[in-house]
Amino acid sequence: MPIFIDRRLNPKDKSLGNRQRFLRRAREELKRSIRDQIHAGRIADVDAEHVVPMPERGTGEPTFNNARNSGKRQHILPGNRHFSPGDLIPKPGQGGGAGASSPGNTVSEDDFRFVLSREEVLDLFFEDLELPDMVKLNLKEILAFKPRRAGFAATGSPTNINVGRTMRNSHGRRIALRRPKQEELDAILEELAMLELAPSSTATRQRIAALREELDRLERRRKRIAYVDPVDIRFNRFDPQPVPNANAVMFCLMDVSGSMGEREKDLAKRFFVLLHLFLKRRYDRIEIVFIRHTHEAQEVDEETFFNCTQSGGTVVSTALEEMHRIVRQRYPSNEWNIYAAQASDGDNSVTDSERCIALLDGKLMRLCQYFAYVEIIDKREAHIFGSTENGTSLWHAYSAIDLKWPNFQMSRIATPADIYPVFRQLFGRQPALLKRA
Amino acid sequence: MATQTGKSDLLFSGSDWDFTKLSRAYDAIEAIAVEELHLDTYPVQMEIISSQQMLDAYSSVGMPLMYRHWSFGKHFLHQDLLYRKGGRGLAYEVVINSNPCIVYLMEENTMALQALVTAHAALGHNHFFKNNHLFKQWTDAGAILSYLDFAKSYIARCEERHGFAAVEAVLDSAHALMEQGVFRYHRPPKLSSERQREGLRERLEYEERSYNDLWRTLPPSQQRANVKAQDPEWKKSLNLPEENLLYFLEKNSLVLEPWQREIIRIVRVVAQYFYPQRQTQVMNEGCATFVHYTLMNMLFDRGRISEGAMLEILRNHSNVVFQPAFDDPRFSGINPYALGLDMMQDIRRISTEPTAEDRDWFPDIAGHGNWREVLLEAWTDHRDESFIRQYLSPTLIRKWRFFVLGDAADQPHYQVASIHNEHGYDKIRAALAHSYDVGANRPDIQVVDVDLLGDRQLRLQHKVKHGILLEDTSRDATLRHIRRLWGYEVSLAAVDAETGLTVHERSTSQIAE
């Protein structure tokens, strides 16, 4: 008799440590794949699993190998049908159909892709943005769940038994299986009692015997068919539901005039992604509105927003007006939390900046939970501007708003790491600001 | 025994298994194996695992305990992908050459499969591990698990102390040399017992604690000066030439810390442990397949396995021994299960119903009827190469329709060298045997010289056989790894084995980092 050990309940993921080591090793390459996917994909898709190709660099395992294209060797193969010694067989061309001559070819690694979990994706995404650990943890955290009633289940804990449903099942089963009712028994007992009092005769004795037998049968049947059987029992089923917070709408405003190149758009996109991640954690339902503008603004879908350019001048106030119009029409501020993120290279006509101030100060800032503005500048300009107050006309205009409204944030960004400070206030503990839902 | 009614005689019915059934099946199979095939096995430990755990086992080279390394994570992802895509099913079992012999059974297997797997692994492989001379001499079944346990915790401790990156660097380099990290010709030293290792480590720690830099400043002794004068003397003291590169680097590297040497040693021990398995694929799988096939049929004949279960067993058996022809899209080399089983059944046939040709080729065994003894002896004394050289019969060559294809790199054609005819039998047999000679087919690379007193360059030599050179990029990458372990430049000379001329030379100084 051998020794048996049941390992099925042992902790799973014995190779998790190896996986982590592997991911750490391939980090740079994986980060690049994720960056590309974020660049090409939709904002809302970042927060999910991603499929990435196998990294090539740094994951090779070299050994001394014989070169295939040198020397003489022999292959021994089964299944000869018509060859005789001395036959010449042309070698198959390079790269295709070499299966016959090179035994042991396995699946090529080209199409080897694997799945990164949501956590791993976010880790890689955050690394570029240099988020503080607290914030990372906060963002990765899944929403709080609350159990919600969702029908009935055949299994569950005794505390969740649904008595009504259970008894209804039991009743149906008792009828279907013709379980004798108490009244039937009572009737027989009554008749028995009467017969026993009556003078005895053959007929009554027979009747008594028959009744006893019947009583016996019914009682046995009652025992066989339980009043409440395990199959009747139903439990209340609870589904974990994310705690509904409230609705939020996120406005993405972006200048799409010719001066915004690929780099600028990529930075802007990450800026929007981060805000979206934050909102997704806080709110049950988020809608995203994309507004692009040149000298006129329009609402577009995500695809167009990031990929199409439009020629024209730059009048920022048109975008603000468009946003105001949409808020009034579709997102009343007493039902929606309104967040806005604006990305631009700072160009604006001088007269228009005044209009922007008026719009924000007079209308929009009162409606918004938060308004974040990033000005995307060239890497070389970064050290010139630094934190000095000189800057583009839009920067000047917004500085005034920044002073007046605590829920307005602005920053210049040249690299991905600059994005986070814009949101610092959001991730800080500011219950007063956020509770206004 | 119990009553001899037909029904109670069945070992199991239905497809669900439980531990009583497994135990009953094992006892019956073992009894018949000892009685009919005279198998001799280690005690068995059966472990039930899920498919997820099977994948885990795959990724750490099938061992229940293994140290952590990124490459195992990569292999896991690969296996996982193949499995999920349905490209490859999981093995029904994994068996480990240890004492007691550990057999992993998948929980998804049906009872019939579990019986098949029990016969295959717990008896077939087990017998082979216990009796084959390669395993007996070169591996230590009793000590491997405790050694791996030590290795795992040792490497984990190193990671804590020296950081992941440092440990990973040593492991990467050592893994690159795993092929060159085995003793092929002389027997490796026995794994030291736990106590000895403990003593060794204590001594190392003591040396670390009591290290005094002053010793370094002492003038060189007279002895050392002598060594300088007589070159061959210290070359001899290094035991050059040395085929086991990992061993050489572990003992003689100029830059490694004691803990790094210990890690190299661990990798070397693991490589050595698996070396016999690579030399006995056909025999090992053949033995296990022959055993399960024979035992299952015997049990069926005795009415202990139902027809339904037997059909399932046969279906799985024929999947395992499926061998497509060379021009079939499914062809991926010779199936060791099929070749091993066919050869062993052929021995049985020669022994019991020989033809005139068999009497000619195998006068020692043809018609003697003692196939059990012949097989037991073959399982004990042979490895793939010698087994094929000894026992591949013309009948089998005809059945498989083997042919030999000459492949010279400078020719635009392959040339058919031999086929299954009178002239070809010997050549095919020799060529097939040669292709299973692991030592002869792997690149032969040895340490030949080291200039300890000059620029400390390590000189390696690659004996080129039949003009087969090394593949360039992987060679350069591997040399870089050797340089990392050695600490100084490394050069590799490719020397033709027949003419003795240097074909090619490569030094790490030519390779960019």
What are the start-end ranges of the E strands in B369-437?
403-408, 413-418
Q: What is the residue whose two structure tokens read 């994309």?
A: A290
- Is A78–B100 a contact, with Cβ atoms under 8 angstroms apart? no
**Could you give phi then psi for residue A224, rounded to 5 degrees?**
-70, -40
Q: What is the residue whose two structure tokens read 């002239």?
A: B423
Residues of B in Cβ contact (< 8 Å) with A93 = none
Residue B390 is assigned to a structural domain of this protein? yes
Instruction: Choose the closest CB to B72 out of A15, A78, A79.
Output: A15
Q: How confident is the model at residue B79, as a pLDDT?
A: 80
CA A134 from centre of chain: 20
Chain A (354-393) residues lying within 8 Å, Cβ to Cβ, of chain B: none
Residues of A in Cβ contact (< 8 Å) with B26 = 1-2
The 3-state secondary structure of A369-415 reads: CEEEEEEECCHHHHHHHCCCCCCCHHHHHHHHHHHHCCCEEEEEECC
Residues of B in Cβ contact (< 8 Å) with A116 = none
| Among A78, A102, A83, residue whose Cα is nearest residue A92 | A102
Q: Is B28 helix (H, G, I), strand (E, B) or coil?
A: helix
Structure tokens at B367: 């018609």
DSSP 8-class letter at A73: E
What range defines the domain where residue B40 resides? 9-132+280-312
Average pLDDT of the segment spanning B401-419: 87
Strand partners, B403: A77
pLDDT digits (tens, 9 = 90+) for B142-182: 888 888 888 999 999 999 999 888 999 999 999 999 888 88
Clarify whether residues B450 and B339 are in a common domain.
Answer: no
* Cis omega (within 30 of 0) for bond into B100: yes
Instruction: Choose the closest CB to B466 out of A61, A73, A78.
Output: A73
Cα torsion B341, B347, B349, B352: sign? negative
Domain boundaries, chain A: 16-56+113-129, 158-236, 247-434
- Is B46–A113 a contact, with Cβ atoms under 8 angstroms apart? no
Residue B261 is assigned to a structural domain of this protein? no
CATH number of A247-434: 3.40.50.410
- Is B401–A80 a contact, with Cβ atoms under 8 angstroms apart? yes
Which residue type does B126 have? N
Q: pLDDT (tens digit, 0 to 9) for every residue of chain A, 437 residues total?
A: 788 888 887 776 677 888 888 888 888 888 888 888 877 777 777 777 888 877 777 778 888 888 888 888 888 899 888 888 888 888 876 444 334 434 333 444 446 778 888 778 878 877 766 666 656 666 665 555 678 888 898 888 888 899 999 999 999 999 999 899 889 899 999 988 888 888 878 888 888 889 899 999 999 999 999 899 888 999 999 887 766 556 778 888 888 777 777 788 888 888 888 888 877 777 767 888 888 888 888 888 888 887 777 777 778 888 888 888 888 888 887 777 788 888 888 777 777 888 888 888 888 888 887 888 888 887 776 666 655 556 677 787 888 888 888 878 888 888 888 777 777 766 664 443 443 33
Strands A247-255 and A336-344: parallel
Structure tokens at A287: 């809608």
Interface ipTM above 0.90: no
Strand partners, B460: B447, B492
What number of residues does chain A have?
A: 437
H or E segment at A339? strand A336-344
Structure tokens at B230: 């007589």
Clarify whether residues B435 and B368 are in a common domain.
Answer: yes
H or E segment at B224? helix B222-229
- List the single best residue of B69, B403, B435, B461 to mutate versus A (max A Cβ within 10 A): B403
Domain boundary among B418, B439, B460: B439
C-alpha span between B347 and B416 (Å, rounded): 28
Structure tokens at A196: 């026993």
CA B362 to each of CA B147, B367, B389: distance values in angstroms, whole numbers, following the listed order: 44, 9, 12
Clarify whether residues B378 and B490 are in a common domain.
Answer: no
| Among A341, A307, A414, residue whose Cα is nearest residue A40 | A307
- End-to-end C-alpha distance for chain B, whole angstroms: 73
Q: Is A238 helix (H, G, I), strand (E, B) or coil?
A: strand
pLDDT digits (tens, 9 = 90+) for B10-33: 888 888 888 888 999 999 999 999
Contact yes or no for B117/B108 (Cβ under 8 A)? no
- Is A6–B47 a contact, with Cβ atoms under 8 angstroms apart? yes
| Among B276, B283, B295, residue whose Cα is nearest residue B117 | B295
- Is B76–A19 a contact, with Cβ atoms under 8 angstroms apart? yes
Residues of B in Cβ contact (< 8 Å) with A63 = 176-179, 474, 478
Instruction: Choose the closest CB to A85 out of B70, B71, B417.
Output: B417
Residues of A in Cβ contact (< 8 Å) with B80 = 114
Q: How confident is the model at residue A133, as a pLDDT?
A: 63
| Among A320, A309, A316, residue whose Cα is nearest residue A295 | A316
Q: In what order do the strands lie in the sheet with A285-293?
A: A297-300, A285-293, A247-255, A336-344, A370-376, A408-413
Measured between CB atoms, does A108 come within 8 Å of chain B?
no
Strand partners, B492: B460, B506
Q: How confident is the model at residue B391, as a pLDDT?
A: 92
Clarify whether residues B126 and B22 are in a common domain.
Answer: yes
| Among A152, A129, A327, A159, residue whose Cα is nearest residue A237 | A152
What are the start-end ranges of the E strands in B75-226?
93-96, 101-106
- Is B332–A105 a contact, with Cβ atoms under 8 angstroms apart? yes
- Is A8–B48 a contact, with Cβ atoms under 8 angstroms apart? yes
Residue B15 is assigned to a structural domain of this protein? yes
Average pLDDT of the segment spanning B184-205: 68
Instruction: Please give the tally of structural domains in chain B.
Output: 3
Give B34's contacts (C-beta < 8 A, 6+ positions apart). B40
Other beta carbons within 10 Å of B194: 13
- Is A66–B470 a contact, with Cβ atoms under 8 angstroms apart? yes
Average pLDDT of the segment spanning B376-395: 92
pLDDT digits (tens, 9 = 90+) for B36-46: 889 999 999 99
- Is B328–A79 a contact, with Cβ atoms under 8 angstroms apart? yes
C-alpha span between A33 and A39 (Å, rounded): 10
Gyration radius of chain A's alpha carbons: 37
The three-point CA angle A317-A321-A327 to 5° equals 145
DSSP 8-class letter at B37: I
Closest-CA residue of A relative to B102 is A3
- Is B78–A70 a contact, with Cβ atoms under 8 angstroms apart? no
Does residue B129 register a pLDDT over 80?
Answer: yes
Q: Is A221 helix (H, G, I), strand (E, B) or coil?
A: helix
Residue B187 is assigned to a structural domain of this protein? no
Clarify whether residues B390 and B414 are in a common domain.
Answer: yes
Instruction: Choose the closest CB to B326 out of A3, A14, A79.
Output: A79
DSSP 8-class letter at B449: E
Contact yes or no for B92/B106 (Cβ under 8 A)? yes
Q: Is A106 helix (H, G, I), strand (E, B) or coil?
A: coil
Contact yes or no for A337/A247 (Cβ under 8 A)? yes
Q: Is A188 helix (H, G, I), strand (E, B) or coil?
A: helix
Give B329's contacts (C-beta < 8 A, 6+ positions apart). A99
Domain boundary among B386, B406, B439: B439
Q: Answer with the residue of higher pLDDT: B302 or B222.
A: B302
- Is A101–B407 a contact, with Cβ atoms under 8 angstroms apart? yes
Structure tokens at B502: 């240097």
C-alpha span between A422 and A401 (Å, rounded): 15
**Could you give phi then psi for residue A8, rounded to 5 degrees?**
-65, -30
Instruction: Choose the closest CB to B443 out of A64, A75, A81.
Output: A64
Q: How confident is the model at residue B171, as a pLDDT?
A: 92
H or E segment at A81? none
Contact yes or no for A72/B405 (Cβ under 8 A)? no
Residue A7 distance to chain B (closest CA, Å): 5
Residues of B in Cβ contact (< 8 Å) with A8 = 48-50, 53, 107
Structure tokens at B295: 């035992």
Strand partners, B406: A74, B415
Clarify whether residues B113 and B21 are in a common domain.
Answer: yes
Residue A113 distance to chain B (closest CA, Å): 8
Gyration radius of chain B's alpha carbons: 26
Does residue B420 register a pLDDT over 60?
Answer: yes
Q: How confident is the model at residue B196, as a pLDDT?
A: 67
**Could you give phi then psi for residue B348, rounded to 5 degrees?**
-65, -40
Clarify whether residues B336 and B380 are in a common domain.
Answer: yes
- List the single best residue of B27, B99, B418, B471 to mutate versus A (max A Cβ within 10 A): B471
Which residue type does A375 have? E
Measured between CB atoms, does A66 come within 8 Å of chain B?
yes
Strand partners, A74: B406
pLDDT digits (tens, 9 = 90+) for B82-108: 777 765 666 777 888 888 888 888 888
Does residue B393 register a pLDDT over 80?
Answer: yes
Clarify whether residues B357 and B423 are in a common domain.
Answer: yes
Contact yes or no for A410/A375 (Cβ under 8 A)? yes
Structure tokens at A150: 């969702």
- Is A62–B176 a contact, with Cβ atoms under 8 angstroms apart? yes
Q: How confident is the model at residue A103, as a pLDDT?
A: 39
Residue B247 is assigned to a structural domain of this protein? no
Residue B163 is assigned to a structural domain of this protein? no
Q: What is the residue whose two structure tokens read 């990798």?
A: B267
Residue B82 is assigned to a structural domain of this protein? yes
Lowest mean pLDDT among B187-201, B286-300, B424-438: B187-201
Contact yes or no for B96/B63 (Cβ under 8 A)? yes
CA A154 from centre of chain: 29
**How many beta-carbon pairs below 8 A join chains A and B?**
264
Domain boundary among B416, B439, B462: B439
- Is B23–A66 a contact, with Cβ atoms under 8 angstroms apart? no
Strands A285-293 and A247-255: parallel
DSSP 8-class letter at A161: B
- Is B431–A60 a contact, with Cβ atoms under 8 angstroms apart? no
Q: Is B286 helix (H, G, I), strand (E, B) or coil?
A: helix
